[in-house]
Structure 1
């Protein structure tokens, strides 16, 4: 299996990846094909696919913020069972982020991720791929070290329609597992930068971020 970076929508592997995204994720979570052109060319956004026998069988997108020394996992897709795709992607991503942090003269502080909460919503089938089942994913990410940030979470729809998307938790995997909280300012600043690309923000999201800015810290809780 190969870990291959995609930097253009003209790459044939991208068409495969986007089709896989449409099969796996809800519509409001998938950016339209042509709108990927600019993000893929952004050197700070890292999109990699797992290629097995010429076919894209998995993918991950993530980014590293030098000024905060934190990363964000945008998504991880496992498109086929029985190939060890999850560990393959996680291990390659971890090594890549460790190199980026080392080049920044630091050890990675931690990584954010939005994680579906099936206890809030059971609407997502994820294309019938069992490893993508939200109960399974939640437990796997808990094993990796992710913890839930203690506040009700919504995010703006990637369709750009200003709708709020719920049914998820914002989580964080600290480099130091003894860490029990994050500065609320870090969480608010991260969300403002991450969603700056979407100008049409729902009122629920704006209120959530405003409440974060009024807090000192946010607790990390078990998933």
Structure 2
């Protein structure tokens, strides 16, 4: 299996990846095809696909903010069972992030991720691919060390229509496994930077940010 970076919407592998995203994720979680042009050309946004026998069978997007010393996993897609795609992507991503942190001269504090909370009663089939089932993914990410940040989380829809998406938790994988809290200031700075690309922020998101700005830190809870 090959780990290949995509940096242009003209890359044929990107069309395959975007089609896979539409099969797996609900519409509000998928950025429109043409809007990927600038993100893919951004050197700070890292989009890789897992290619098996010429076919895109998985993908991951992530970024590293060296000024914040944190990473963000935008998504991980496992398109087929039985190939070890999840472990392959996680290992390759970790290797890459370690190199980025080393190049910055500062240690990585951890990695954010938005994780579906199926216990809220919202069902997503995720294209019928069993490894993408929200219950399975949540438990896998818990095994990896992710913890849930203890506040009601919403995020702007990637359709940029001003709608608030509420069925996810904001989670964090701390480099220090014993960490019990994360700075609210860091969370706010990260979220503002991360969602700069979306101009149409829902009122619920703005209110959430304002509340975080008036707190000191946020507890890290078991996922």
TM-score, normalised relative to structure 2: 0.99
Q: For each residue in 1:27-73, what CA deviation from the matched residue of structure 2 results, as whole angstroms up to 9, or x when unmatched? A: 00000100000000000000000000000000000000010110000
Q: 1:107: Cα distance to partner?
A: 2.4
1:12 aligns with 2:12: yes
4+ residue stretches of structure 1 with deviation over 4 A?
A: none
102-111 vs 151-160, which deviates more? 102-111
Question: Cα deviations across residues 157-184 of structure 1 (Å, max 9, x unaligned)?
Answer: 0001000001110000000101110010
Number of equivalences = 223
Query: What's 1:78 paired with?
Result: 78
For residues 69-101 of structure 1, the C-alpha deviation after alignment (integer angstroms, 9 at most, x for no partner) is 100000000000000000000000000000000
Q: Partner of 2:90 in structure 1?
A: 90
Alpha-carbon RMSD across the aligned residues, in angstroms, is 0.5
SS of 1:113's equivalent in the other structure is strand
C-alpha deviation, 1:106, in angstroms? 2.3
> What is the SS of the residue equivalent to 2:59?
strand
Instruction: Report the CA distance between 1:127 and its aligned residue.
Output: 0.3
Aligned position for 1:117: 117
The within-5 A match list for 1:100-139 is 100-139=100-139
Unaligned ranges ≥5, structure 2 = none
Deviations 1:89-128 (A, max 9, x none): 0000000000000111122110000000000133211000
Consecutive unaligned residues of structure 1, counting only runs of 5 or more, are none
SS of equivalent to 1:119 = helix
Which residue in 1 is equivalent to 2:200? 200
Cα separation, 2, equivalents of 1:39 and 1:183: 27
Distance 2:184 2:115 in 1: 19
In the alignment, the residues of structure 1 paired with residue 59 and residue 179 of structure 2 have an alpha-carbon distance, to the nearest angstrom, of 29
